[in-house]
Copies of this chain bind each other. A is one copy, B any other.
């Protein structure tokens, strides 16, 4: 009995088919496919013609299975959320470097979930990726030790590993923030609100530290009532900032720890009609920041560079580099556009 619903699947040509058509052995086809130079020109030509005729595509998986190095020509890339501009820029930069080596990228979004992180790293492990670049969500990476010891390099980007020795490519969050806050202090602000992500996220922690550093160096006492952490969306930031603006002694300036929070802040300030009176500096640049009124002053990260460097380090490891873990720091730049240069009201 034949299955009526089954579509007529034309089988793919295998190396065996190519060998038969070219009247050579399997091994000779393998040699031609892998560009081993020791093949008689005439045989090689026959093989190439058969490959052409059958439109033969070698099976990477089968090849990797038997190969000495077991390379799958695939790397994993786990980021916070591939639809946000930060993650998307990293993806693109990594893809570019990988493509030069004909390596494909398996991407995934972690959404700040340690559970997703474990699920996706496990999936990558089962796919036998040659290496992984990760902006982690969890705070214990010991579980990656086994893969690491099995020869899979991990490069941490944007956030460092915890309890694991591995390469890392980070922004100078603390210094960048310190500079931004000092900039506001220099303009004359003494009451600077802080909106940041959950303090469990290392970059958020570093940025908060930078904020504290700047205040301390100016002899300003921290007012915890104008610090809001645990924010991650445009809406949450807008609401938090709106509330602070409505309080009895509102800040005259704000620092926001991430671009979505900056957008939320812009919204709240605009809705209060205070865009020419409340100063704002945000961490991480975003499209259109310079077209808002006032244009938004930011601490810009070189996100594409972070991605490129992470990929570069990863491929060095894949190529056998066994030196000590690298700690790369990518510099940030304060871009003054207007919102950060608004002076506080005169007393």
Contact = CB atoms under 8 A, between A and B. Distances in A.
Interface of A: 5-7, 9-12, 55, 57-62, 64-65, 72-74, 81-85, 87-89, 91-93, 95, 99, 102, 104-109, 122-128, 146, 149-151, 263, 266-267, 270, 286-288, 291-293, 320, 322
B83 A89 contact: yes
A288 B288 CA distance: 7
A345 to B, nearest CB: 23
B291 A61 contact: no
Contacts of A104: 106, 108, 123-124, 127
B65 A62 contact: yes
A48 to B, nearest CB: 16
A83 B72 contact: no
A72 B81 contact: no
A258 to B, nearest CB: 14
B74 A95 contact: no
A74 B107 CA distance: 11
A95 B123 contact: no
Contact of A288 (B12, B106, B123, B292): B292
Contacts of A127: 60-61, 73-74, 104
B128 A107 contact: no
28 contacts: A5-B322, A7-B320, A9-B149, A10-B149, A12-B150, A55-B146, A57-B122, A60-B128, A61-B64, A61-B128, A74-B127, A83-B88, A88-B91, A95-B107, A99-B108, A105-B108, A107-B107, A263-B291, A266-B288, A266-B291, A267-B291, A270-B291, A286-B288, A287-B287, A287-B288, A288-B288, A288-B292, A291-B292
Contacts of A288: 263, 266, 286-288, 292
A263 B287 contact: yes
A59 B343 CA distance: 61
Contacts of A106: 74, 104-106
Contacts of A9: 149-151
